[in-house]
């Protein structure tokens, strides 16, 4: 019999790649979508018609319980989050409720229904924050530096508590930055790739950037969702650090993207100090040894291949009219 997976945050970048992976594996895939977010289902493109939609608000504990009771999912992937970190300063409580509240309500529902659902919590390298060591692994202490990271850490502990106290098969992936052609343009990789493609086509001339010295461990979202699935197939529920193990600066990212279209980035990029983050961290880089040893997981797409993939997709979108030049910032 086909397995059933329930996904929150299904219309986001990771939701798309995870749904695609699970559908390919023969799963029945259901997505939790708040009633006011139904229109976002179109973001799943060709997958939308294959997804069962469960319309429930994140805050509706009784509604979530009913969905879990009726669906009896084999696996739950809790991906829902307002994932653009700076936004969390504008709404710390809203961030906490969506991230921590949804995780805790779903874990409570699984416990109350009393089924053997395996639970994946999307944790973040942001939880490490101000690190005292690099690279980070599963033993590295947490030191969150913003409301998003603090909310993710609370959700992470809620998952751990449910595993320890109630014996749920619950685990989390502590994921480093993971990108794709589906990344929204407010995130730095897509912002840069879209700008490089736009400048190449003569649709604009300059790109305003924040701190070019900031560094990140950037991987491919398609690789990272594979790790999520593998965690839920393991014999024991555990935490895993998931990243490439390689740091690149924003400057290297910009150079790589402009290189793809044969342009010299120094002629087009302007640094705007107002885009610098006061809570910046520079050394968030994964040691994914445990994931490699226990799950056989390794990233497949290199940094250079990822950036090329993203730039080429934006060139195609702009040339075909799938993105209107007026919407390009
Ligand atoms: O693309 P970003 O906005 O991603 P950030 O803040 O690292 O967060 C992402 O990864 C986390 C870890 O997986 C997730 F938890 C989170 O949900 C999200 O997916 O910024 C990346 C870096 C930062 O250091 C930022 O300061 O790029 C630097 N940067 C420099 N100039 C810029 C810019 N970021 C943006 N968005 N725009 C700029 O102009």
For the chain, which domains are there? 4-175 (3.40.50.720), 184-217+246-283+301-327 (3.90.25.10)
| Predicted confidence (pLDDT) per residue in 90-133, tens digit | 999 999 999 999 999 999 999 999 999 999 999 999 999 999 99
Alpha carbons 188 and 325: distance in angstroms, whole number: 19
Residue 126 annotated to the active site: yes
Q: How remote is the C-alpha of 41 from its chain's centroid?
A: 17
Give me the chain's average pLDDT, please. Answer: 96
Ligand 1 pocket (Cβ < 6 Å) reads 83, 85, 124-126, 175-177, 186-188, 191, 209-211, 214, 216, 250, 275, 277, 280
Half-sphere exposure of 14 (CA within 13 A, CB side): 27
pTM: 0.97
The tokens of 193 are what? 């790739």
CA–CA separation, 307 and 271 (whole Å): 21
What digits encode the pLDDT tens for the residues 256-313?
999 999 999 999 999 999 999 988 887 999 999 999 999 999 999 999 999 999 999 9
Helix or strand or coil: residue 243? Answer: coil
Question: Residue 151 — very low, low, confident or very high, per pLDDT cuts 50/70/90?
Answer: very high
Closest CA to 287 of 179, 174, 189: 174
For 172-229, the pLDDT digits (tens) are 999 999 999 999 999 999 999 999 999 999 999 999 999 999 999 999 999 999 999 9
Asked whether 249 and 188 are in contact (CB, 8 A), the reply is: no
Query: What is the rounded CA–CA span in Å between residue 240 and residue 121?
Result: 11
How many angstroms separate the Cα of 249 from the Cα of each of 188, 211, 256, 288, 309?
Answer: 11, 9, 11, 20, 19
- C-alpha dihedral sign at 22, 23, 28, 30: positive
Atom of ligand 1 nearest to the CA of 214: 24
Q: Which atom of ligand 1 is nearest to the CA of 282?
A: 24
Active site residue 148: yes
Dist. CA 47–CA 280, nearest whole Å = 36
Which residue, among 59, 133, 50, 137, has the nearest Cα to 96 in the 3D structure?
59
145: its two tokens: 């530096």
| Nearest to 130, CA basis, from 142, 118, 116 | 142
Residue with CA closest to ligand 1 atom 37: 188
Which residue's CA is the nearest one to ligand 1's atom 25? 214
Distance CA 61, CA 81 (A): 17
């Amino acid at each position: 019999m086909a397995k059933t997976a329930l996904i929150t945050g299904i219309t986001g970048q990771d939701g798309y790649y995870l749904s695609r992976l699970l559908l390919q594996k023969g799963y029945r895939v259901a997505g939790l979508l708040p009633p006011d977010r139904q229109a976002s289902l179109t973001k799943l493109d060709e997958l939308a018609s294959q997804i069962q939609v469960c319309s429930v608000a994140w805050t509706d504990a009784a509604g979530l319980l009913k969905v879990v009771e009726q669906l009896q999912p084999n696996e739950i992937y809790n991906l829902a989050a307002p994932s653009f970190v700076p936004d969390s300063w504008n709404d710390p409580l809203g961030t906490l409720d969506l991230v921590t509240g949804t995780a805790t309500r779903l874990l409570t529902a699984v416990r109350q229904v009393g089924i053997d659902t395996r639970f994946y919590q999307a944790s973040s390298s942001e939880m490490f924050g101000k690190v005292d060591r690099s690279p980070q692994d599963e033993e590295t202490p947490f030191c969150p530096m913003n409301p998003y990271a603090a909310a993710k850490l609370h959700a992470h502990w809620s998952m751990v508590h449910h595993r320890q106290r109630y014996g749920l098969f619950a685990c989390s992936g502590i994921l480093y930055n993971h990108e794709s052609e589906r990344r929204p343009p407010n995130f730095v990789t897509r912002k840069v790739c879209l700008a490089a493609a736009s400048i190449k086509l003569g649709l604009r001339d300059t790109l305003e950037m924040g701190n070019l010295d900031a560094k990140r461990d950037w991987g491919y979202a398609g690789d990272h969702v594979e790790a999520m699935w593998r965690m839920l197939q393991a014999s024991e529920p555990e935490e895993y650090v998931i990243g490439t193990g390689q740091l690149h600066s924003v400057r290297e990212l910009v150079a790589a993207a402009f290189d793809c279209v044969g342009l010299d980035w120094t002629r087009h990029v302007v640094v705007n100090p107002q885009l610098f983050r006061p809570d910046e961290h520079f050394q968030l880089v994964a040691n994914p040894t445990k994931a490699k040893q226990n799950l056989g997981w390794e990233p497949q797409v290199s940094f250079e291949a990822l950036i090329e993939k993203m730039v080429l997709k934006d060139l195609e979108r702009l040339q075909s009219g799938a993105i209107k030049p007026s919407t390009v910032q």
